[in-house]
Structure 1
């Protein structure tokens, strides 16, 4: 049986509705369910799931719908609706009870003196609200995606003219005046300022610097398209200029995938004018060009953090491509890991939630191993070319192809849980994972990984695999860094101090085991 219910003009945010979909699907007899707003994307998903029914013909983006396929001998649509209402009530009860203004104007009336707005609304409405905010003299952080690139360009030009920040679209991480926004970790204030077009890359740098005892003046996000030819790096440049002028910032860090050539040139010209040292991690970018601009190139996200910390302390910024552990301890780790493998265990399974962390892993491991991915180094290493999963895999599970109709795996671990079930088997030798803590992330990502490992071990029997993990987090994050590490170690994982060190260890194990 396939049925749908439509609730007119009943807006709720997409993440909440996706999480509710997951809970409703747990009802006995429910085969498939999608709870969402009547956007074009969601209606396409319903059609792909073969659940489009006449009731959905006239649905609008302002309408909420529940579409389901179920066994009517076990469950009814009334049961699904009751479960939906129960989950909605739980969400309301778990809220803070604070006033939630329905419009920007009412928000400004409620919080007079505010100078920043964070937007997380459907992309088709986000540009108009951002424009209203900029016209009102507000800085903007736009978490929303699916915003037209011409709207992004127009909004960023307006922000530059007004001397404001327009972070986004699809900006997931910022820390402004010490306040973490969206996906961000709790780090101390300090002398380092950062501008990033990379969410988990920014998080990794901030937490490593925090763990080394330094902190951040400001962490400014740009959104992933900012350094494209079309946008021209408008917000990266705006952010650099702001940090150059900021008396609390003594060191500047830039992190992004390599910019478009014309944008890169503009950034380097600006960096040359900086009286403050600048550390640049354009992941996979040209180190010599960075040096020519008078800046410090980086070998990894961790290396960027270490160099920024050294410069903040007036010390020499040297390359770090090693380990915190001693060579003797590393040799023992590798020897013990390889000893547990059986002949049929041949393959790496990198199951990442952070895109930049995935990218860092692939770029390093890809130098010595054939790594297949959904974000491959070269087209021939695209995951679609790998037959029967017989090869090394490293996936960014937060990419759109895996998150259509479901929350990002940093919010809800189910996507990674599903890939543990489908991609870890008797041929798996090594599992490489990231665990990202902080605001916005799932309440216990380490626990979710531990549960997946326990299930996988039961499934593969005697073929125990090697698990290498890193935790992007601090001692002040709500998930508790130390407890997260302990949970992973109790689940049999080797927990390394950074993603870069985890990847290097995996490389050593793969070479030692001739994988």
Structure 2
């Protein structure tokens, strides 16, 4: 339905994944003359957001596709509609995850599993629907990765208990990253295969460790995410213990790294007792005061396997040095303009919860916000895809800003494109920007290409989040 300069359509029985639809919305919004573009599955939440924006949305269901575009003129709207069709054509032709639900398409996860030789299901639906889909997978004898967030903890416990009974693994909810047999799931970096297995109650923490291992010339056998709440007192490490046991039995894994935000103390002790009975050595990266940071834990893993520990690359804002000539080690001296000093303030603007917590612990002072938290992702894409909230925070920050940029599949295809103008504007206001850049040279975005662009804009860039936090703390004049 087209009314004035509004276009509203509901396309029945047409599905595209949320990441693809977010990118279509971003492409339309970026066009001159387009004021608002909402392209999403017609869930109750998305329909409500479109109506709040003033669109007259007809009746629709979550299996329908909603298109709502507002432009400045009828000509702009026509051009936006043409671009919309080009975007959809590219998704369909390029294997972008779209299909029509009519015909012989399976209606349940269990039905789909019976039609394929499947052992693992990935669930990425709104949180209120994830339990039913994940339980269907478990009952079908599949391990399951639950990318969805906003899943009640009681449902998580039920899923993991049933998975234990069925002898399968539940990764998640809110499991952002996994690599199973070389296949990346969710937000996954391109890393080389190796002998180190990773169990992580953290997506970005797993990405940090895997990318550092890759930079050191090592690699991973598998990365098994378990969800950020798994080591809480409520969930009691159910998936962590199952994942540790699986890697202990894996002949391609010689060492395991266990990663988590600060766990419940009694659950950490439970896990340590379990690890004592394993044949495979385990390096702990359980963040907390006095505990190893992720970089230190990675270095311990490398030494345990006899792999030399490199000097982790970093590039300061003083000059865009060659990538193979890293500058400014983890002690993090003040910037070349001499603006370090007390009272400047340190602001952590993060997309990864574990990276945010690690930076908070390492820096010792400052205000830190994890924009990947459930409170910020309800009704919008993860900040590794949609940077709008972080850009708003950077535009209003003062003093020193510390932020992560995470590369890899499913993440923003070129984060420097939106961050470079924001960094330049911040520098003009006298704000120092320090970036923890998590990625590899093999990632689609290119680690060194992103680093060069950010440094040229005036940011200091570190591949180690802990080193970035120390540098930022020094610039702000805090204890670090």
User: TM-score scaled to structure 1, two decimals?
Assistant: 0.78
Higher helix share: 1
Question: Taking structure 1 as reference, are residues 270 and 118 closer, same or farther at Cα in structure 2, changes over 3 Å only?
Answer: same
Q: Does 1:39 align with 2:43?
A: yes
Within the candidate set 238, 248, 253, 1:234 is matched to 238
- For residues 20-39 of structure 1, the aligned pairs below 5 Å read 20-39=24-43
Alignment-derived partner of residue 190 in structure 2? 186
Contact 1:279 1:304 in 2 (8 A): yes
Question: Taking structure 1 as reference, are residues 323 and 6 closer, same or farther at Cα in structure 2, changes over 3 Å only?
Answer: closer
Paired residue secondary structure (1:15): helix
Stretches of structure 1 lacking an aligned partner (at least 5 in a row): 288-297, 374-394
* 216-225 or 21-30, which deviates more: 21-30
Alignment-derived partner of residue 62 in structure 1? 63
Q: How far is 1:4 from its partner?
A: 4.0
Within the candidate set 358, 361, 377, 1:360 is matched to 358
Alignment-derived partner of residue 311 in structure 1? 304
Within the candidate set 502, 505, 509, 2:468 is matched to 502
Cα deviation 1:36-58 (Å, max 9, x = unaligned): 223232244345x35264x44x3
Contact 2:352 2:372 in 1 (8 A): yes
Q: How many residues align?
A: 462
Within the candidate set 218, 221, 224, 1:220 is matched to 224
Take 2:333 and 2:422, find their aligned partners in 1: how far apart are those partners?
23
Q: Does 1:483 align with 2:449?
A: yes
Contact 1:352 1:434 in 2 (8 A): yes
- For residues 108-507 of structure 1, the aligned pairs below 5 Å read 108=113, 112-284=116-288, 298-313=291-306, 334=333, 336-339=335-338, 341=339, 346-365=344-363, 367=364, 369=365, 371-373=366-368, 395-420=369-394, 422-424=395-397, 428-457=398-427, 460=428, 463-507=429-473
Contact 2:340 2:476 in 1 (8 A): no
Take 2:83 and 2:192, find their aligned partners in 1: how far apart are those partners?
42
Stretches of structure 2 lacking an aligned partner (at least 5 in a row): 316-324
Take 2:275 and 2:410, find their aligned partners in 1: how far apart are those partners?
32
User: TM-score scaled to structure 2, two decimals?
Assistant: 0.83
Contact 2:205 2:294 in 1 (8 A): yes
Paired residue secondary structure (1:181): strand
Paired residue secondary structure (1:334): coil
Cα RMSD after superposing both structures: 3.7
Cα deviation 1:4-35 (Å, max 9, x = unaligned): 43333333322323332233334555433433
Contact 1:338 1:509 in 2 (8 A): no
* 442-451 or 27-36, which deviates more: 27-36
Take 1:506 and 1:480, find their aligned partners in 2: how far apart are those partners?
24
Take 1:191 and 1:83, find their aligned partners in 2: how far apart are those partners?
46
Contact 1:133 1:139 in 2 (8 A): yes
Cα deviation 1:155-197 (Å, max 9, x = unaligned): 2122211221111122111111222211122222222221111
Alignment-derived partner of residue 54 in structure 2? 51
Paired residue secondary structure (2:400): strand
Contact 1:439 1:477 in 2 (8 A): yes
